[in-house]
Amino acid sequence: MEKLNVDALFLGPKSENELFFKEMLHYLIDDFMEWRKGYHSEDHPAITADDQIQTSFQQTLLDTRLALVELAGRLQDKSMPWFSTRYLGHMTTDTLMAANLGYMLTLLYNPNNCAYEGSPVTTEMELEVGKRLAVFLGYDPERSWGHIASGGTIANYEGLWLARNLKAFPLAVAEIEPDWVQGLDTWQLLNLPSERILDLVEKAIRSNRFAAIRSASAGQKGLAAFKPGKVLVPQSKHYSWLKAVDILGIGQENLIFIPVTDEYRMDTGVLSRKLAELQQQKEHVLAVVGIIGTTEEGAVDDIHRIVEIRKAFEQKGLSFYFHIDAAYGGFVRSLYLNTDFSFSSQTELQQNLQNLNLMDARLEYPSEEVYRAFAAMPEADSITIDPHKMGYIPYATGAIAVKDKRILDLISFFAHYVFEKKEVHPLLGSYIMEGSKAGATVAAVWTALQVIPLHQRGYGQIVARGIEKALQLYHALENSHPIDTGQHRYIVRALTKPDINIVDFAFCEIGDTNLEHMNSLNQTLFEFFSYKTGRIYTNDFITSKTSLDQENYGDIPEHFTRRFGIPQSEWERVGSVYVLRSCIMTPFLNSNQPFDEFFSRFMNIMKEKLSAITQKNE
């Protein structure tokens, strides 16, 4: 198998692959134009030369031109140059040529994947893509299912909606068909494992009792009649979970935040203790959410430990739905898959990483915990994964995959199984959250996956570049010498060793133990490296930032501020640390730009800005 060439996948920071891009675009547009002309070629044109020479016609074309030129001007003036290696901020970089071109072409066909009739081609592609993603995540191809959503937030809502309606089902069974769950009390009904509930769903369908049972359940009765239980998420959570529990009627007070460890992963010891406590209080747990790639730190929760904990608690009579929010980090799993999509053993992984030249062996990637977390993903009931993040696809393309597609009947407004049985083409809008949805984004993902397989020789090569550079940046920051601007000396340190490709870091003046000063310094630096000071196009470096505060992270960030010699009393007084945050998604920190050269430029830019700050303050 010839190795995929990552440089040939992107347009490139200097539009290096411009000729190929334009050639393909022109080919596709010509092809599209001919398709239109060819449909009933005997039909007369609807717009004639007589129409086209009218003044109003020319005026309207001119108006269109002016609007587009204004759009282009505004975009050029203030857009973020993601494509450059000088942009190390949010979760965005150059996107795949295959995806961009597939998207541009397909939007002209304007398919709507809500119903097959509006999108025969892209609905089929969505089912193909959904299946590929589900299998990639380790799910059984026959039992699982997946689809494209407009974003990870919507996918997370859908996961929690599935969980909520699943959890409520056994109570409805007990009401309508008490014999089926004879001997089980309410607590036991609320703690059936997912698979057992889905067996009940299947039984209900087979015996034609599904409609009756569903009409006694949460979707029909609403949450006034069903106490939904607790939702446990790590403190590093994405804010979409706050919105999710509000929207779904669960209530934010039922959201429990589990503290994170020093590595910003969910503290599974605390999780265990919290579950035991809830069990004792007879408070049932709706769902636990684990994260693969937290938004702020790129941390990978110990998915394998959550799986073990669920197994252990199921022995003790407590069960919960397990959803993984891998919106950001999900595609990193490709690094762990052999070309036959089997999960690499540790030995195979190290061999493959070296043979494919994907990772400097001295970086000792991955850690045992991260390896085991990615291996355990298939145990989750559902997983959010966003192609528009580490799939290098344009917005708006999230996705969700579910382990057991029988669950779809619990959110479908009519019975999904009827459709499968009748072999009618799918009406996606009937068993997903969204209604009308773009087929063009689906085509973008489909085209990318045709070119780039979801394993080490495909996406693995792309994601490895970012992870390798993130680790190198981490080590370089940690080992860096103080920056001396003349009168002041500054040190920089990284928050954690990256689990994937995000590096958080902060500067501090040596000897200044005031946390407010440190925060203010980093905020000023961020302003230099963002749209906040002048035109972004002239910036030398662009990054993002985040604040780690006591409310969300407890006292864990104090372990970081301590490293700058800032006393604990300062942490207690200020309660928040401001850090710069770089997602290293760019595939262009490669052999043509050696890391040392990049890092030296990086540190020079930092020194220049620190000097400017020093002068300004004097």
Smallest distance from the beta carbon of 98 to its own copies, in angstroms? 5
- Among candidates 259, 252, 156, which has minimal Cα distance to 548? 259
Binder among 68, 212, 418, 510 for its own copies (CB under 8 A): 68
Whose Cβ is closer to its own copies: residue 119's or residue 582's? 119
CA 272 to chain centre: 26
Amino acid at 167: K
Burial class (CB in 10 A: 0-12, 13-18, 19+), 279: middle
Binding to its own copies, residues 114-173 (CB under 8 A): 116-121, 125, 150-154, 157, 161, 165
Binding to its own copies, residues 472-511 (CB under 8 A): none
Whose Cβ is closer to its own copies: residue 187's or residue 537's? 537
Single out the segment in contact with its own copies by CB under 8 A; choices: 113-121, 190-198, 365-373, 400-408: 113-121
Binding to its own copies, residues 228-287 (CB under 8 A): 228, 238-240, 242-243, 245-254
Written as one string, the DSSP assignment of 276-332 is HHHHHTT--EEEEEEEBS-TTT--B--HHHHHHHHHHHHHTT---EEEEEETTTGGG
Alpha-carbon span 359 to 375, nearest angstrom: 19
Whose Cβ is closer to its own copies: residue 227's or residue 563's? 227
CB 160 within 8 A of CB 248: yes
Whose Cβ is closer to its own copies: residue 289's or residue 508's? 289
Binder among 179, 183, 208, 222 for its own copies (CB under 8 A): 222
- Among candidates 290, 278, 263, which has minimal Cα distance to 382? 290
Q: Looking at 264, 417, 474, 490, which residue is catalytic?
A: 417
Token representation of residue 17:
């692959």
Smallest distance from the beta carbon of 139 to its own copies, in angstroms? 24
Smallest distance from the beta carbon of 375 to its own copies, in angstroms? 28
Binding to its own copies, residues 541-560 (CB under 8 A): 544
Binder among 140, 364, 482, 531 for its own copies (CB under 8 A): 531
Is residue 116 part of the annotated active site? The answer reads no
- Among candidates 211, 239, 251, 231, which has minimal Cα distance to 167? 231
By rule CB under 8 A, what string of x and - marks binding of each residue 429-458 to its own copies? Answer: xx--xxxxxxxxx-x--xx--xx-------
Alpha-carbon span 275 to 282, nearest angstrom: 10
CB 232 within 8 A of CB 287: yes
How many Cα atoms are found within 13 Å in the side-chain-facing hemisphere of 332? 32
Smallest distance from the beta carbon of 617 to its own copies, in angstroms? 24
Single out the segment in contact with its own copies by CB under 8 A; choices: 215-223, 269-277, 301-309, 360-368: 215-223
When asked if residue 112 is in the footprint of its own copies (CB under 8 A), the reply is yes
When asked if residue 517 is in the footprint of its own copies (CB under 8 A), the reply is no
Alpha-carbon span 522 to 566, nearest angstrom: 15
Smallest distance from the beta carbon of 437 to its own copies, in angstroms? 5
Number of residues that bind its own copies (CB under 8 A): 165
Q: How many helices (H) and strands (E) does the chain have?
A: 23, 13
Single out the segment in contact with its own copies by CB under 8 A; choices: 90-98, 371-379, 495-503, 557-565: 90-98
Binding to its own copies, residues 555-614 (CB under 8 A): 588, 590, 592-593
Amino acid at 535: R
When asked if residue 361 is in the footprint of its own copies (CB under 8 A), the reply is no
Alpha-carbon span 541 to 586, nearest angstrom: 14
Q: Identify each DSSP E strand in 68-176 by its residue range.
A: 87-88, 145-149
Residues forming a β-bridge with 124: none
Whose Cβ is closer to its own copies: residue 161's or residue 560's? 161
Token representation of residue 162:
């599935």
When asked if residue 186 is in the footprint of its own copies (CB under 8 A), the reply is no
When asked if residue 421 is in the footprint of its own copies (CB under 8 A), the reply is no
How many Cα atoms are found within 13 Å in the side-chain-facing hemisphere of 313? 28
Single out the segment in contact with its own copies by CB under 8 A; choices: 31-39, 318-326, 346-354, 356-364: 31-39
Smallest distance from the beta carbon of 85 to its own copies, in angstroms? 7
Question: Reduced to 3 DSSP states, what percent helix, strand and coil does the chain have, rounded to the nearest 5?
Answer: 50, 15, 35
Smallest distance from the beta carbon of 272 to its own copies, in angstroms? 25
Smallest distance from the beta carbon of 128 to its own copies, in angstroms? 11
Whose Cβ is closer to its own copies: residue 425's or residue 489's? 425
Whose Cβ is closer to its own copies: residue 13's or residue 259's? 13
When asked if residue 33 is in the footprint of its own copies (CB under 8 A), the reply is yes
CB 551 within 8 A of CB 480: no
| b/e sequence 347-359, b meaning 16+ C-beta within 10 Å | eebbebbeebebb
Whose Cβ is closer to its own copies: residue 203's or residue 227's? 227
Single out the segment in contact with its own copies by CB under 8 A; choices: 82-90, 362-370, 475-483, 550-558: 82-90
Distance, first Cα to last Cα, the chain: 61
- Quick one: which H or E segment has residue 465? helix 459-478
Alpha-carbon span 346 to 233, nearest angstrom: 29
Binding to its own copies, residues 299-358 (CB under 8 A): none
When asked if residue 35 is in the footprint of its own copies (CB under 8 A), the reply is yes
When asked if residue 418 is in the footprint of its own copies (CB under 8 A), the reply is no
When asked if residue 89 is in the footprint of its own copies (CB under 8 A), the reply is yes
Single out the segment in contact with its own copies by CB under 8 A; choices: 329-337, 363-371, 395-403, 473-481: 395-403
Active site residues: 417
